[in-house]
Amino acid sequence: MDKFTTLTGVAAPMPMVNVDTDMIIPKQFLKTIRRSGLGANLFDEMRFDREGNENPEFVLNQPAYRKAEILVGGENFGCGSSREHAPWAIKDFGISCVIAPSFADIFYNNCFKNGILPIALPQEQVDVLMKDAEKGENARMSIDLEAQTVTTSDGEVISFEVDPFKKHCLLNGLDDIGLTMEHVSAIDAFEAKHAVAQPWA
């Protein structure tokens, strides 16, 4: 998993509440177990019509936001079924940070396991960031995970809270496998001792 330390990029404004995981990646795209390729179908039913043509009104289809790396959303982002494909699709599209007033718990935790920083902030602060994002591609927002700050294009700094363990994992690029591999020496020592004590096992 890639490390997340700092990020400066375009933020896409998406002021919708209750964006669920089926909206993020519709069920017909859940057959794959590959993390790559899902970005093409992120928000598929909003980005495209039934003939596969782009909806020019959808924010990620607009020229200013096609390469957005930050998404500013509404309350209860990531609700619905507990599909890990949702953060896979977001990350594969190129978005590494989602900011919203609140998140569904499972989606929130899955973000950290897939290299995405979800930032929960009070509505009034999200409103400030939403307005900044609406300025388009020339208004670049900055995220500093170590300092736990979001800086607007105008230089306004907003602090956020994050669980210390989840912060450690993102800063060091550690998913569940990576966390296990941090203890590889202890695991090897245990296996060697176990092999001597119970050679029949």
CATH code (residue 31): 3.20.19.10
- Three-point CA angle 49, 55, 58, nearest 5°: 125
**pLDDT above 90 (res 38):** yes
188 pLDDT band (50/70/90 cuts)? low
Token pair for 145: 């995970």
User: Mean pLDDT across the chain, nearest whole number?
Assistant: 91
**pLDDT above 70 (res 187):** no
Q: What is the pLDDT of residues 153-171, one digit of tens each?
A: 999 999 999 999 999 999 9
Unique residue bearing structure tokens 């994002």: 133
**pLDDT above 50 (res 183):** no
**Does residue 84 fall inside a structural domain?**
yes
pLDDT at position 150: 98
41 pLDDT band (50/70/90 cuts)? very high
**Does residue 27 fall inside a structural domain?**
yes
Closest CA to 100 of 8, 11, 10: 11
CB-based contact 175:1 (threshold 8 Å): yes
CA dist 126 to 83, 129, 172, Å? Answer: 25, 5, 27
pLDDT at position 198: 75
Give the range of the structural domain holding residue 98, as residue numbers without chain letter.
6-197
Higher pLDDT, 137 or 70: 70
pLDDT at position 189: 60
**Does residue 1 fall inside a structural domain?**
no
- Three-point CA angle 149, 113, 147, nearest 5°: 15
Token pair for 139: 């208004």
Cα pseudo-dihedral 42, 43, 47, 49, rounded to 10: 110
Tally of domains within the chain: 1
Q: What is the pLDDT of residues 49-96, one digit of tens each?
A: 999 999 999 999 999 999 999 999 999 999 998 889 999 999 999 999
pLDDT at position 186: 60
Which phi and psi angles does 40 have, rounded to 5°? -65, -20
Spatial distance between the Cα atoms of 90 and 41, rounded to a whole number of angstroms = 10
CB-based contact 141:70 (threshold 8 Å): yes
Which phi and psi angles does 123 have, rounded to 5°? -55, -40
Longest dimension (CA), the chain: 68
**Does residue 56 fall inside a structural domain?**
yes
Task: Compute the average pLDDT of residues 111-136.
Answer: 97
pLDDT at position 180: 54
pLDDT at position 20: 97
**Does residue 143 fall inside a structural domain?**
yes
